[in-house]
């Protein structure tokens, strides 16, 4: 296989998205973490709850919500990352394979079935 006249497509939107993916990944970790820390502040606990059971229920609910947000957003980010990598590979240099002669016949050859 040989390169086709050093032909390449210019970078496009996939490069911009690849540059933003670390920020998105960091945000997908920090936002749920911030929620967990924020709900445990004494001022917030006193605003939303009255008893220790309500505090525990609030903490558990926010913990599960944070885990759900992270587990939901992470596959989206990974899928977009894989898509960008595939587009980058497809925009790479073009290659030409060796010529392969094709037998172009109007009808198939007769094959002896007794062989």
Given a contact cutoff of 8 angstroms between Cβ atoms, the answer to whether 39 and 102 are in contact is: no
Burial group, residue 69, by CB count within 10 angstroms (0-12, 13-18, 19+): middle
Q: What is the C-alpha separation between 22 and 100, in angstroms, rounded? A: 45
Given a contact cutoff of 8 angstroms between Cβ atoms, the answer to whether 70 and 32 are in contact is: yes
49: helix, strand or coil: coil
Q: pTM, whole model, 2 decimals?
A: 0.68
Least confident of 35-49, 68-82, 100-114: 100-114
Residue 91 has pLDDT above 70, yes or no: yes
Report CA dihedral (14, 18, 24, 26) to the nearest 10 degrees: 170
Q: Name the pLDDT band for 61 (thresholds 50, 70, 90).
A: very high
Bigger pLDDT: 66 vs 11: 66
The pLDDT of residue 9 is: 73
Name the average pLDDT for the chain: 84
Q: Provide, rounded to the nearest whole percent, the portion of the chain with pLDDT above 90.
A: 46
Number of H helices, E strands in the chain: 3, 2
DSSP-derived secondary structure letter, 106: S
């Amino acid at each position: 296989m040989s390169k086709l006249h050093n032909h390449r497509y210019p970078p496009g939107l996939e490069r911009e998205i690849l540059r933003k993916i670390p920020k998105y990944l960091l945000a997908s970790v920090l936002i749920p973490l911030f929620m967990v820390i924020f709900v445990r502040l004494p001022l917030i606990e006193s605003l939303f709850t009255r008893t220790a059971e309500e505090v525990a229920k609030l903490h558990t609910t926010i913990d599960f919500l944070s885990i759900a947000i992270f587990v939901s957003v992470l596959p989206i980010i990974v899928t977009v990352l894989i898509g960008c990598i595939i587009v980058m590979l497809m925009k790479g240099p073009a290659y030409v394979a060796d010529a392969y002669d094709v037998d172009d016949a109007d009808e198939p050859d007769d094959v002896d079935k007794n062989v």
